[in-house]
Structure 1
């Protein structure tokens, strides 16, 4: 019989939330966690149990215990039960006048240029996290009409779907997680758009894109930006997020070395989204 697959949740409470919360979240992102919820006195880190190096996670939390008092509660949630738990706390995400991201069970609301329906699952990118929100904030300044778009590390597919709703000619999605691929396909159908999605990493990119959207995390971006650029059209645009203010110099250095120049940024809760443009 196939082993039950679970999501793993680390409920972390801190006596001092700042600056420790963001520092710990950043490191937990390196050991397999890929979604984080803020709480009044800390956060909850979620990820697929099979993807998480629990030994490393516990070791880094033990190191932080030497600096700040914290408590940990570990939760396992079966995959098939996630929707029920997620729906309890899933509120619409709104960028006034521009975008509303809602679940199928939410009541429709007027007053937005674009509305996106996202089935609330574990795939990263519902818009609640500061990085996804930041990417959407930058996207509203871009003319997507007729553009070829790649949503790299697509998660729920919200960025690619938004690009299509904004007039993109096409939007492809790539993710290393099969559940993210399935979630993106489902969300594309919910929004009546045609987004091609495949399982893979940066090595599977093919073709040329006018806009590449990559909301991943610092180390992956630093390694993969050169590969993205190979598939970016002349004067194409690269939007990246998944890192902190202090990571900007490292990200910008790689981009500048490959003839990409920073033209816009958005910051929220210490997280950053950057817009680079290719110069031939």
Structure 2
């Protein structure tokens, strides 16, 4: 599976999910499926004697999710659950999620690590940008941790609508925007949460770094161990200094601080 993930990382997949003997990968809805399938077969034919590539029509996965979804507990810090699950008074924070077609329930390694990293960040009174908000799970947690205000953005309209619904479920409010970093151009945030993917990080870095306030923090996830060096190098080229690293399986979460050099 490690080899397969490494080989597929060159394609423009937005997320992955591993299962017993399977790997699911999500593409942008406007991607050329036949071309990508052909390229995947050509790339992987040297490594696999049998390969099946199947594209599944987009649908509302909520009914299946409800049948299979278990609450996600991140130590004693946070519990991510559905409205039909029982509350747990023994955790610090609870997040209620109805994901519909959006990404972010805490089950995936990247979301889980982002939650772990957020436990070590001081959100009190801070401004936060949640880039690629999905279900809004990280925005909700940031607000519960004391953030003054949160701006959540996503390029997918279903995610934007789902994030709004989940914010309401949790009794918190955030600005939710359909679009990318260009929608917040000229604004600065104390903390940036970017659980996206390697390609998006590399493409958006030059503009994204302008949104980070002086001495601000950014948490990146959504990429594999094989991508760590290039993500780190690009971050440092744009004035970000590494402050944390967390790994779960083949997935990584990196924290950076925006370094402000004193003028001499």
Alignment of 1:254 with 2:234, yes or no, is yes
Contact 1:87 1:120 in 2 (8 A): no
Contact 1:149 1:170 in 2 (8 A): yes
Q: After the TM superposition, which segments of 4 or more aligned residues of structure 1 sit over 6 Å from their partners?
A: none
For 1:89 and 1:57, the matched residues in 2 are separated by 30
* Match in the other structure for 2:248: 268
Q: TM-score, normalised by structure 1?
A: 0.86
* Match in the other structure for 1:4: none
Pick aligned residue for 1:40 from 20, 26, 33: 20
Q: TM-score, normalised by structure 2?
A: 0.90
* Match in the other structure for 1:26: 9
Contact 1:265 1:275 in 2 (8 A): yes
Alignment of 1:217 with 2:200, yes or no, is no
* Match in the other structure for 1:5: none
* Match in the other structure for 1:119: 98
Pick aligned residue for 2:86 from 77, 85, 107: 107
Alignment of 1:208 with 2:188, yes or no, is yes
* Match in the other structure for 2:74: 95
For 2:234 and 2:107, the matched residues in 1 are separated by 28
For 1:43 and 1:256, the matched residues in 2 are separated by 32
> How much has 1:35 moved relative to structure 2?
4.1
Q: How does 1:67-216 map to 2 (within 5 A)?
A: 67-72=47-52, 74=54, 76-77=56-57, 79=59, 81-206=60-185, 207-216=187-196
Q: Deviations over 1:221-244 (max 9, x none)?
A: 112122122121110001111111
Unaligned 5+ residue runs, structure 2? none
Unaligned 5+ residue runs, structure 1? 1-17
CA RMSD of aligned residues (A): 1.9
Contact 1:216 1:242 in 2 (8 A): yes
Q: Deviations over 1:238-277 (max 9, x none)?
A: 1111111221221112221222100101111111110000
Contact 1:25 1:45 in 2 (8 A): no
Greater shift, 138-147 or 122-131, is seen at 122-131
Contact 2:193 2:218 in 1 (8 A): yes
Cα gap change, 1:259 to 1:61, in 2 (>3 Å): closer
Whose strand proportion is higher, 1 or 2?
A: 1
Secondary structure of 2:54 counterpart:
strand
> How much has 1:179 moved relative to structure 2?
0.6
